[in-house]
Chain A
Amino acid sequence: MTETTAGATAVKTPKAVDGSLNWLDDRFGSTGFFKRNVKKVFPDHWSFMLGEIALYSFIILLLTGTYLTLWFKPSMIEVVYDGSYQPLKGVQMSEAYASTLDISFDVRGGLLMRQIHHWAALLFVASIMAHMLRVFFTGAYRKPREINWLIGIGMFTLAMVEGLFGYSLPDDLLSGTGLRITQGVAESIPVVGTYIYMFLFGGEFPGTDIVSRMYMLHILLIPGLILGLVTAHMMIMWHQKHTAMPVKHQTETQVYGYPFYPVFMAKTGAYFLFTFGVLALLGAFAQINPVWLFGPYDPGAISSGSQPDFYMGILEGSLRIMPPWEISAWGHTVTLSVLIPALLPLGLVFGGAAAWPFLEQWITGDKRLHHVNDRPRNAPVRTGAGMAMVAFYGILWLAGANDVIAERFHVSLFATTWFFRFAVFLGPLLAYIITKRVCLSLQRRDADTVAHGVESGIILMSPEGGFSEKHEPATPEEKVVLLSKETARGEAPAVDANGIPAPSSKGPIGHLRSRLQRAWTFDDIPVEEGHGHGDGHGNGHGDGNGHGDVSERKNPQQIGH
């Protein structure tokens, strides 16, 4: 390995290292590969690490999960508990539940592993969500990265199913309640529902097959799929290069950052240890899923405050606020009160997320490659739509905990249900409007900063006695960030010079497209240099007060005495 930096060449490589690397190189030609790749430059931003949390949680999940399989018995044979947890001694339970108790109380390190495994699962999904939001709001899914975005959505879906099967395995009262809902959802599917349910459970609920079936899916099939998708995700990312934030030296054709070896490798290695450390701390100090307190599953029992793990909260919430609608036709019952909450909200979120990159491309007509991220404020419609989705998801998620909210904050349970029924429609709308206004205001401020500089905090008194604040120009670094905003490209004229309508604007679809494009761009505020002092600034854009706001600053500001 001789392609290290200039300072390091003087050091002679130890023979053991050199020899074995040569050995490998003779067989794989690995030196060439490393030569090309170890110096790969990665841009630096904290939010780029969110996806790595998911990757590292996944590794920890595989390791701790393997440990748990050594003792867990995926069997629903009834046994009488005779372990060291006294309050359940002599109680009949499934072998799955009994072995989970054994892992918790009689296996050395078992409880710690269980808790780390469960915390890692929560963190896995939470970081996937955070990572997805980062990618969405910075527009990092744009061409050429649409496929990787879709792979990400696939992994998110798989992670949810993986989690559901995982927390259902111990066969405790809480997870059994979740399985009962799963059964209800399967049954609610029109025509084939009953067959699907019987096929899944191998007979009537709960039967004796479901735990061993979920176990196979949980430890083999789904992790295998996720692993394959993770590999594809990473290789595509490596090949396409990571997107970067708009900073100085960063351009669409050149990545600015640190080389993989040694800087980024050290950072990401350290970050694995951070993830592991946080999970170990949580596993050691915060109790999670205390199955011994829930008791064994019994179809006749249920607890108040029965919630699924957080990533299923949106389904739980949709189910809770859904009115009891049901259709009976030709001797068949379609239980809309289960079918709609099970399919519609998550379908909207995932379907919408999957379609969005293509929809955006279609509306804006932007077919260019993008390697530099957008600042969220510079794409108000996207940011607004994203926040509307966050509000939609968040409200349904909260609705899943409506009884806990009612109990902890002393409000009526019915009041919370009705609140969420309205909020789920109004919340996203409000979120969109507010977010868009905030984005536009921030754009206006950026335009102002570029044109007039930053308030310096220095107050000047003029000979007449008026006070004004001195403005200093933005630093070059700041300017690069501010000027990263592209002025929205105007709509292509519907009719060209010869009076021939553009093909993209024909027909009802074409009209819709032009309208959407207008909505996307009409209130854009240009952020440009040397464009400030009242020379028609902001003309024709948005609501007039943007205009007035900016041009007023021509005069030194007066502040009160």
Chain B
Amino acid sequence: MTRTGISVKRFTAWRRRPWAGYAVVLAALAAIGVIYAGFSPQTDRAEAANANQAAAQASLENGKELFNKNCASCHGMNGEGVKDKDGRAIAPSLLGVGAASVDFQVSTGRMPAMNPGAQMPRKPPIAAFDTRIEKNYETPEEREEAHERQAEAQQNLDDLITYITSLDPGGPPIPPASAVDPSKGKVALGGKLFRTNCAQCHNFTGQGGALTGGKYAPPLSRDDVTPTQIYEAMLTGPQAMPVFNDSTLTPEEKQAIIAYVVQTREEPNASAAGLGRIGPVSEGLVAWLVGLGMLVLAAMWITAKKPKKLKKS
């Protein structure tokens, strides 16, 4: 409180505005948001230091080094898996998992894992394996550097796969580009298969969904989910997902599903707002907040207008 009457008065006057309460709430929310943002952990910072060190060496040597650095702490020095003292697996064995599995886990950023939970979340891959580098820079030097870094990350990933498969060959290989090309799949068949096999967890438009015990089916509707990753997921059944081997879903059927997923997510919505394509929950929210909200505002406006002539009557 100040002693000068004017500022008290001004403050009091501001305080008494009808919107003052809302302003205080808004300011408090903003402050909480800023504080939260300051304290919440960032995923990609911690591992970024590894970026430059994972540099050239012969393929296997490099792969081994990457493995020791990023994987061995959980999966064991020879990829044999680690169990806690009660015999429960902390990290599964990587022997014989196959190239498709390694490629899926690392290229989606799930591995190396940050902290063990019900399920490893998809996140940007650590810098050493991040092949999704921005390349549209202004200067040719920057562009060239970006290309180099991408090539290096791809090389790292290939080396890691080479090393892990060298421990125990076997398991499904990475599917060839021709097998995952969405433009060659039959969309209608894919839709049918998707609805019977995938929608129960991933939702009819691939928005993802909740599973039991804190697990979840991740969304397939994001652009960074590549056809190769979808194919690899079906082959290897990561986390809570079942394995759809080639006798359950033939390669042709897998391609149809990929075609359906990609076409559905690229298909524009019938109206400007798709409302998340998750069905009636968001529709109900919009009906109440937007529909009823706008009409309540209109009602307030209409009833606030007093016709002058009749005011006396």
* A interface residue numbers (CB < 8 A to B): 7, 44-50, 53, 86-91, 104, 111, 115, 118-119, 122-123, 126-127, 130, 173-174, 258-259, 263, 267, 270-271, 274-275, 278-279, 282-290, 293-295, 298, 300-310, 313, 401-404, 406-407, 410-415, 457-459, 559-561
Contacts and interface: CB of A to CB of B under 8 A. Distances in A.
A86 to B, nearest CB: 7
Given A286-B272, A300-B196, A49 B302 contact: yes
Contacts of A279: 291
25 contacts: A46-B296, A48-B303, A49-B303, A87-B263, A87-B264, A91-B188, A122-B283, A122-B291, A123-B295, A130-B292, A274-B295, A274-B298, A284-B271, A285-B271, A286-B271, A286-B290, A288-B283, A293-B205, A294-B204, A294-B279, A304-B201, A305-B209, A309-B283, A404-B281, A457-B9
B271 to A, nearest CB: 4
Contacts of B303: 44-46, 48-49, 267
Contacts of B305: 267
Contact of A111 (B191, B211, B270, B304): B270
A214 to B, nearest CB: 18
A407 B192 contact: no
B35 to A, nearest CB: 20
A304 B202 contact: yes
A411 B211 CA distance: 10
B148 to A, nearest CB: 37
Interface in B10-47: 12-13, 16
A348 to B, nearest CB: 21
Contact of B195 (A7, A104, A290, A295): A295
A403 B272 contact: no
Contact of B211 (A91, A413, A560): A413
A309 B280 contact: yes
Contacts of A308: 280
Contacts of A305: 203, 207, 209, 278-279, 281
Nearest to B259: A87
B199 A303 contact: yes
B170 interface: no
Contacts of A267: 302-303, 305
Given A46-B300, A46-B303, A459-B8, A307 B281 contact: yes
A122 B284 contact: yes
B250 to A, nearest CB: 19
A373 to B, nearest CB: 15
Contacts of A458: 9
B3 A561 contact: yes
Given A53-B292, A412-B214, A414-B213, A307 B204 contact: no
Given A126-B291, A271-B299, A304-B201, 19 more contacts: A47-B299, A88-B191, A89-B188, A91-B188, A123-B287, A123-B295, A173-B195, A173-B204, A174-B279, A282-B286, A282-B287, A286-B273, A287-B270, A294-B204, A294-B279, A304-B199, A305-B203, A305-B279, A412-B118
A306 B200 CA distance: 9
A301 B9 contact: no
A274 B260 CA distance: 40
B210 A302 contact: no
A278 B200 CA distance: 34
B5 interface: yes
A295 B273 CA distance: 20
Interface string B179-203: 0000000011001100110011111
B214 A275 contact: no
B290 A413 contact: no
Contact of B191 (A87, A285, A286, A560): A87
B280 A310 contact: yes
A174 B290 CA distance: 24
A278 B295 contact: yes
Interface centre among A308, A414, A457 (most CB of B within 10 A): A457
A111 B278 CA distance: 19
Given A49-B299, A88-B191, A304 B271 contact: no
Given A304-B199, A305-B203, A407 B188 contact: no
B275 interface: yes
A304 B298 contact: no
A40 B89 CA distance: 79
Interface centre among B5, B118, B188, B213 (most CB of A within 10 A): B188
Contacts of B118: 412
Given A286-B271, A288-B283, A290-B270, A295 B295 contact: no
A174 B283 CA distance: 14
B53 interface: no
B288 A304 contact: no
Given A301-B199, A307-B281, A413-B212, A295 B191 contact: yes
